[in-house]
């Protein structure tokens, strides 16, 4: 391994390096250098302030020694809004798509109100400009039921167990060029809260979007990821186990599940990827992270590669949030 290189900095050079967060990276064709690939990095710059953030972008060459092509460029400016959770994908022609979440001004900790939107910004000139910025979703509420003790939107199993929640999107591009994006969203009807996973797809390079409710008001589902191959779009997500069909957090444990979406047949039945009945740990000192970076990607042929965190193991009497991996096939039931 070569020594690490800095690929992103904030606009404020005096800011703490920790203020650069939620980074994601992709490899794809370089539209401005035919026959070559590039590294594309998008992340959140928190230095403007907690309620006002920016999405930044860098582009580097590939190889053992990467060199910058574009560095530390603001591509989304919050202007009083909270923008974060950027996810970058690149199509076969080198068109760059960066998906992100936008929260209305002063709406970050507000529950039950449709103050969040998934958006996409797009570059057709290799990342020099991002003139296109489109809403992928309609406005929705936080995928959360409480803000304490995490001090931000969370799913509360009980007064001592919470999972911090974001609605950050994941995205993928199918072999036919169809764009897919997934996120989790909340909705309050009367006194009842629903938290579902949604998929949006575009057949016209992001100009217009169709939205599908993947999980359909079953027990709370959260932190989805999506990949695509010839069999369709495969959506992996956490879901609370609900053997008694009570909804919400069910019996308080969760596992990893998957559905496949096809333009021809719609949403498939649910498959179990990992269902160890992982418990939610007791929240200590406002630390309630769990599953932010779960992901599914496509491998060779029909292979699907899954990674996630759960708490099936106990170390020194405490739940241990370990990372797990599974290999499944999009042509067969998971093995």
7 in any annotated domain: no
Exposed, middle or buried, 243 (CB in 10 Å: 0-12/13-18/19+)?
A: exposed
Domain contains 225: yes
- Per-residue pLDDT tens over the stretch 173-219: 999 999 999 999 999 988 889 999 999 999 999 999 999 999 998 89
- Could you tell me the pLDDT band of residue 334, with boundaries at 50, 70 and 90? very low
Long-range contacts of range 53-57, CB-CB < 8 Å, 24 or more positions apart?
53/78, 53/82, 53/83, 53/84, 54/11, 54/78, 54/83, 55/83, 55/84, 55/86, 55/98, 55/100, 55/121, 56/8, 56/10, 56/11, 56/20, 57/88, 57/98, 57/127, 57/130
- Report the length, in residues, of the chain: 335
12 within some domain: no
Check residues 201 and 65 and name the one with the higher pLDDT.
201
Q: What is the pLDDT of residue 318?
A: 85
Range of the domain at 86: 18-329
Report residue 223 CA to chain centroid gap. 6
Residue 203: which CATH number?
2.120.10
Residue 335 lies in a domain: no
Q: Is the pLDDT of residue 335 over 50?
A: no
Task: Give the model's pLDDT for residue 148.
Answer: 86
**Burial (Cβ within 10 Å: 0-12, 13-18, ≥19) of residue 76:** buried
Q: How far apart are CA 90 and CA 24, in angstroms?
A: 12
- Is 58 within the bounds of a domain? yes
Q: Average pLDDT, stretch 141-151?
A: 92
Is 11 part of any domain?
no
On whether residue 8 sits in a domain, the answer given is: no
Confidence (pTM): 0.95
The structural domain count of the chain equals 1
Who's near 165: CB < 8 A, 6+ residues apart? 142, 143, 144, 153, 154, 155, 184, 222
Q: Is the residue at 303 inside a domain?
A: yes
Gyration radius of the chain over CA positions: 19
Asked if 139 and 112 count as a contact pair (C-beta separation under 8 A), the reply is: no
């Amino acid at each position: 391994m070569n020594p690490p290189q800095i690929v992103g900095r904030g606009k404020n050079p005096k800011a703490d390096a920790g203020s650069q967060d939620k980074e994601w990276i992709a490899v794809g064709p370089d539209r401005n250098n035919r026959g070559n690939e590039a590294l594309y990095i998008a992340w959140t710059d928190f230095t403007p302030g907690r309620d006002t953030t920016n999405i930044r972008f860098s582009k580097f060459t590939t190889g053992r020694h990467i060199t910058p092509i574009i560095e530390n460029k603001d591509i989304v400016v919050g202007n009083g809004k909270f923008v974060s959770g950027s996810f970058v994908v690149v199509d076969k022609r080198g068109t760059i798509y960066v998906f992100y979440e936008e929260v209305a001004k002063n709406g970050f900790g507000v529950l039950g109100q449709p103050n969040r939107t998934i958006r996409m910004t797009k570059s057709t000139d290799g990342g020099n400009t991002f003139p296109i910025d489109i809403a992928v979703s309609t406005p929705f509420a936080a995928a959360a039921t409480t803000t304490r003790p995490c001090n931000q939107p969370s799913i509360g199993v009980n007064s001592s167990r919470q999972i911090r929640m974001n609605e950050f999107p994941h995205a993928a591009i199918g072999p036919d060029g169809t764009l897919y994006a997934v996120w989790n969203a909340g909705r309050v009807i009367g006194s009842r809260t629903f938290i579902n996973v949604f998929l949006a797809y575009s057949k016209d390079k992001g100009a217009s979007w169709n939205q599908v409710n993947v999980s359909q008001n079953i027990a709370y589902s959260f932190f989805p990821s999506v990949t695509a191959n010839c069999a369709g779009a495969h959506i992996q997500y956490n879901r609370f186990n609900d053997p008694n069909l009570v909804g919400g957090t069910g019996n308080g444990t969760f596992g990893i599940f998957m559905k496949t979406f096809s333009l021809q047949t719609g949403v498939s039945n649910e498959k179990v990827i990992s269902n160890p009945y992982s418990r939610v740990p007791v929240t200590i000192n406002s630390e309630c992270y769990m599953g932010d970076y779960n992901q599914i990607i496509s491998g060779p042929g029909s292979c699907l590669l899954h990674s996630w965190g759960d708490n099936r193991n106990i170390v020194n009497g405490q739940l241990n949030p370990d990372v797990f991996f599974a290999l499944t096939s999009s042509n067969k039931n998971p093995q």
